[in-house]
Structure 1
Amino acid sequence: MGLEALRVKNLRSLSDTPQIPIRPITVLVGRNSSGKSTFLRTFPLLKQSVERPTESPILWYLQRRIDFGTLNNAINDRATERTVTFEFTVLLPLSTEVTLRDTPPRFHVSMTLAEGQPPHGSFVQGYDITQPDFAVTASLRFSPTGRLLSFTVDGADMMPQDLDMALSGIAYLLPNIRPGSHGKVKYQPVVPPLHLDPPKWRDTDYDEALLNELARSLRPLYHGKTHDKTLVEIADHVSLGGHDAMWQHLERDSGLSVKKDARKDGHFGHVFQEIFYRTFARLVPWVLDAADMQIADFMSRVAYLAPLRATADRSYRLQDISVDDVDPDGQNLAMFMYSLSEAERASFAAFTEEHLEFESKIDISGLNAEILVREPGGSRHINLVDIGFGYTEVLPLMAILWSTCCRERGADDPPTSLLAIEQPELHLHPAHQVKLAGAIASAWRTSRDAGREVKIMVETHSEGIVNGLGALIQKGVIGAEDVQIVIFDQDPETRQTDVRIAGYTPDGALNDAWPFGFFAPVADG
């Protein structure tokens, strides 16, 4: 279950990306300002948006976290429409009960945001919800106040008769629609561990208007004296499926006899087509509700390491606080290491020594702590500030890799969903960049083997990391299917970015989608 792919439109230099799958290891490459960092930062952006109560879906700015400014700042300069769109490919749990099939249903849920009036931020301008198995799409458009202005399924009007609907209720990221034109959306932070057993919170009148519209579309199938309440009960048990399966349910499982003229046309007739569309429309609140929880659950468990790590200090004042995770800038590294148990400190030291041949430890003296490092072949540990800037940069990286992927976690401790890392190769010698590919692959494999797989996404300029992953595939350490390379190629004249996905052959070579001479220097003139 959960988030499978992400697509963004009109976000900074990204006019549109394909649906980019969330693979075990994803490497984002491209020249400066091509959009690769923008795409990667979308994940911590959405994380900070679901971690705090907000007035609008996206928290565009958070101090010491992700700063996109405002929606107006974030919109692509050449966008003809002043909107930003996030499209999520989500695998919903069977408990959502939106399809007749016994396999988890997959939906593409696209949320388009526009700029609101101060003091409020961006608002949901529209949704597009596609079910690829049945090639059907619902489109919903809203006013700045959240009122539902139009609702179509494959172009057919699905607006309830004589009834206003609006975005309202509780949401993490994707607000839902309910009857009434003066709804209020309360964006709540993700608190419970949704990944364990996603809760379902729906009011009894959640989709009453859409249910009644579906019941009306059923009337031509049955005897004219069929009670409205009976039609509503039948409609309440209709789910999306293949036309044959849905027709069988309506004809055999409803408890009523289908009229002869309706039976003659079956699922080829216009009556059934209306029922099919109304069924999909009626299920939209279920889909939004379930997708909201799946996306919020995934984003709340994202870990992120920024490209500019904190400068090391010679010593750190100890504090009586518990630190479970490494900050995006590594500023709390000393307190993180101090909070580890002796066994965990030994495990972390072994991880850095195995992959980059150095060992780190925390040394306590009174109320102060020092981070010490022993270089390859060194006889003693040296203070981090005396050993070179490269170690200052790489130590937070190794800490977050070990912490999210290799550290033993309790049964109730939510596992990291995605580790997003910017420029892991900073200040590292090319030979160590190749070794870093091994650390990334090893960390992912450790998490997978422990049954709590952590996907890893890396934004990099490093040819060593790209080649290092290929070498690991060639050796059989990881599979070619485990790694994808997303290439961001910006046109120097139009400044528009083309995004395409490449990868590796089973023997570790870059496949045909990789552009020839990508890492070669750009010729002048």
Structure 2
Amino acid sequence: MYSYRVRNLRSFSDDPNSEYIEICPLTIFIGTNSCGKSSLLRTFPLLRQSIESHTSGPILWYGKYVDYGAFSEAKNKSSSSEIIFFDYKFDLRGDSSLSFSQNEDLSVDLSLGVTGIEKSTVFDSLTVKALGVEVSVKYNEDGAFNVYVNGEITDAILTVNNKKSQGFIPSISLLGWRGGAEGCDLGDVENSEDIELNYYELIDKYNYYQAISRDGVKRLYETLSSKLQGDYENFYDFEREFLNGFYFDGIESVSEFDSFSLLSKEELFNVQKELLVAYFPTFIDEVNHYFECYFQRVKYIAPLRSTAERFYRFQDLHIDEVDHTGSNLAMVLRNLSNHQMRLFKDWSLNNFGFEVYVPVSDSLHYEILINIDGQETNISDMGFGFSQILPIITSIWLTEYSKSNPLSIRGRIPITYVIEQPELHLHPKMQATLAKVFAKVAMFKRNIGSPINIIFETHSKTMIDALGDVVEEYGGRESINIVILEKENNITKVTQTGFDDEGDLLKWPIGFFSGR
């Protein structure tokens, strides 16, 4: 995921030319109270709770992690538009059915529009740009969905499943053609070996495998057939083999056809474009899977974490992820092996100056201890800041300890930490230390090819200054994006800045922290 933006959500405008937020290993949101920081940051856990749940629409506004209320409360109330847009720029890396090799990146721009009907949120529009082609699906007044390719309407009619969302984007399938032909199962054709249909009759009659662009599929075949090698009585066998191969295995498998070796680079690019348009529902399935993989790897930590308890009741549960409030922190630590516990103690000591551990006990109750300079203290007797920082550092360490970052079938997708106000109840020295640990972890993981993105909002000038110190000493200013949010006439304006090589901020508003 390269960048994203929201439009018409809370205080954000519906301007299609509004700025995208660049996602870096470290992305920091800064602004005054009620300027839109949380609304922008919480879209990450919003998408995670929407994808993880069985929903009746594309967005679950109120769920496990965050609460936007409902569509009517999430929409910008000062706007006349009744559509909220979620816009993303990302890569399908190597495993797209449109990729010729696993080393090929396929850049995609996606915009999903949702609207409200009564109390429900429903799909309104979808626009995808890839390979120089723009495909849009838009709701019309007749209750159907029109399909546009580069701004021109096609003759395809799509149906969108709003009743049971199986991902961020509702499932899309071909309903038929404006000329009256209906989608038809190909079983009767595939089981008839003696049938002789030319390619055009086949497409016209059966809408082969949900192809939404009849002309596009024809152009694709014409490109390939002009380069065909081999002796064919007719092209029917080749047609079936090619189309079946693409649908099930992608373009990389069908590229083994002799004809591909004779195609120019431009012709290969045209093949990809025609496939994208012709089999748009299949491509959307791939995009949906990418979003599922990406947002399931989002780890959200809320601004107010659970307070510490003196003792915790033993439960025979295995939990390996700190929840967004830190309420299960004790169980996560309790599930660490002795070896993991030693590593965590050493890590917390080296980075923060104290050890955290759960001693072994035969009791049904256990406690979290903090060791500072050899003095052990129950966490409930420590300052409130310890209960607020421990869920953060434990969650970060769990990823730091995991030296592998498993490959999804969509390529290497980063773990994204989304943290609200990590500095709460922390002394400025500890705030600076935490910021430096964020930078260390994010930059190190990026360098070893196992990326972590950390996105957080803060009111702490100390944390910003500490990141500047990191840049001055170690470099890496391109890995940090400072996002300044300010309100003008009830609309949030976004400015993105960063550090120079000396660690000084660029484009910093005068009086931003002091108010003078």
- TM-score bracket for this pair, using the shorter chain length: 0.7 to 0.9
Q: Counterpart of 1:159?
A: 155
Q: How much does 1:208 deviate?
A: 3.4
Give me the whole-angstrom Cα distance separating, in 2, the residues matched to 1:218 and 1:211: 11
Q: Distance in 2 between matches of 1:300 and 1:310?
A: 23
Structure 2: gaps (5+ residues): 177-181, 183-205, 227-233, 247-254
**Separation (CA, whole Å) in 2 of partners of 1:380 and 1:208:** 68
Q: Deviations over 1:458-495 (max 9, x none)?
A: 1111111111111101111x50111111111112xx21
- Given candidates 466, 469, 487, the residue that maps to 2:467 is 469
Deviation at 1:450, TM superposition (A): 5.2
> Quick check: 1:66 aligned with 2:66?
yes
Does structure 2 retain, via aligned residues, the 8 Å contact 1:355–1:438? no
Q: Name the counterpart of 2:491.
A: 496
Q: Which residue of 1 aligns with 2:315?
A: 319
Per-residue CA deviation, residues 26-59 of structure 1 (Å, 9 max, x unaligned), is 1111111111111111111111111122221112
Superposition pairs for residues 201-220 of structure 1, below 5 Å?
Answer: 207-215=209-217
Q: Deviations over 1:274-318 (max 9, x none)?
A: 999876532432431221111110001111110001011111111
Residues 113 and 123, structure 2, Cα contact 8 Å, conserved in 1: yes
Sort the Cα spacing of 1:29 and 1:216 in 2 relative to 1 into closer, same or farther, 3 A.
same
User: Alignment partner of 2:321: what SS?
Assistant: coil
Once the 2 structures are TM-superposed, how far is the Cα of residue 328 of structure 1 from its aligned partner? Answer: 0.6
State the 1:370 CA deviation.
1.2
| 1:370-449 map, 5 Å | 370-375=367-372, 377=373, 379-408=374-403, 417-448=415-446
Query: Is residue 112–residue 125 contact of structure 2 (8 Å, CA) maintained in 1?
Result: yes
Among 343, 350, 359, which residue is 2:346 paired with? 350
Q: Partners in 2 of 1:406 and 1:305 — Cα distance?
A: 19
Would the alpha carbon gap of residues 229 and 41 (structure 1) be closer, same or farther in structure 2, given more than 3 Å must change?
A: same
| Identity score, percent | 29
> Are positions 1:91 and 2:91 aligned together?
yes
The answer to whether the Cα contact below 8 Å between 2:486 and 2:492 also exists between their aligned partners in 1 is yes
Paired with 2:72 and 2:239, the residues of 1 have a C-alpha distance of: 44
From the superposition, tell whether residues 218 and 11 of structure 1 become closer, same or farther in structure 2 (CA, over 3 Å): same
Q: Please state how far the C-alpha of 1:98 moved relative to its aligned partner.
A: 3.1
Residues 206 and 516 (structure 1 numbering): CA distance in 2 closer, same or farther, change over 3 Å?
Answer: farther
The equivalences for 1:54-133 within 5 A come to: 54-63=55-64, 65-98=65-98, 103-118=104-119, 121-131=120-130
- Cα distance, 1:446 vs structure 2: 4.4
Indicate the SS of the match to 2:368: strand
Q: Assess, with a 3 A threshold, how the Cα gap between structure 1 residues 411 and 47 changes in structure 2: closer, same or farther.
A: closer
Deviates more, 1:352-361 or 1:411-420: 411-420
- The yes-or-no answer on 1:171 pairing with 2:173 is no
**Contact 2:294–2:413 (Cα < 8 Å) also in 1:** no
Given that 1:90 and 1:295 are in contact with CA atoms closer than 8 Å, whether structure 2 keeps it comes out as no
Letter matched to residue 463 of structure 2:
I
Query: Residue type of the partner of 2:98?
Result: V
Mapped pair 1:304 → 2:304: no
Q: Which residue of 2 aligns with 1:457?
A: 455
Matched ranges for 1:329-344 at <5 A = 329-344=325-340
Give the conservation status (yes or no) of the 8 Å contact 1:406–1:443: no
Write the distance in 2 (CA, Å) between the matches of 1:128 and 1:415: 23
CA contact (8 A) 1:175 1:288 kept: no
Q: How much does 1:360 deviate?
A: 1.7
Q: Does the residue aligned with 1:15 lie in a helix, a strand or coil?
A: coil
2:51/2:292 contact within 8 Å kept:
yes
1:207·1:282 contact (CA, 8 Å) conserved in 2?
Answer: no
Output one character per residue of 1:393-414: Cα deviation in whole Å (capped at 9) or x when no partner.
1111111111123345696899
Structure 1 alignment gaps of length 5 or more: 184-203, 240-248, 257-266, 268-273
Residue equivalent to 1:516: 510
Q: 2:134 — aligned with what? A: 137
Aligned residues of 1:9 and 1:15 also touching (Cα < 8 A): yes
* 1:35 equivalenced with 2:36 (yes/no): yes
1:383 Cα offset (Å): 1.2
Q: Is the 8 A contact 2:25 2:443 kept in 1?
A: no
Which SS does the other structure have where 2:129 is aligned?
strand
Structure-2 change in CA distance of 1:470 and 1:229 (3 Å): same
TM superposition shift of 1:449: 5.1
Whether the aligned pair in 2 keeps the contact of 1:166 and 1:178 (CA below 8 Å) is: yes
User: Which of 35-44 and 15-24 deviates more?
Assistant: 15-24
Cα distance in 2, alignment partners of residues 382 and 335 from structure 1 = 19
Q: CA RMSD in A?
A: 3.7
How many residues get paired?
Answer: 455
Preserved contact between residue 215 and residue 235 of structure 1 (Cα < 8 Å): no
Q: Contact 2:472–2:503 at 8 Å: present in 1 too?
A: yes
Deviations, residues 138-170 of structure 1 (Å, cap 9, x unaligned): 22112699x64322223212232xxx3212497
Equivalent residue number for residue 191 of structure 2: none
1:74 Cα shift?
0.9
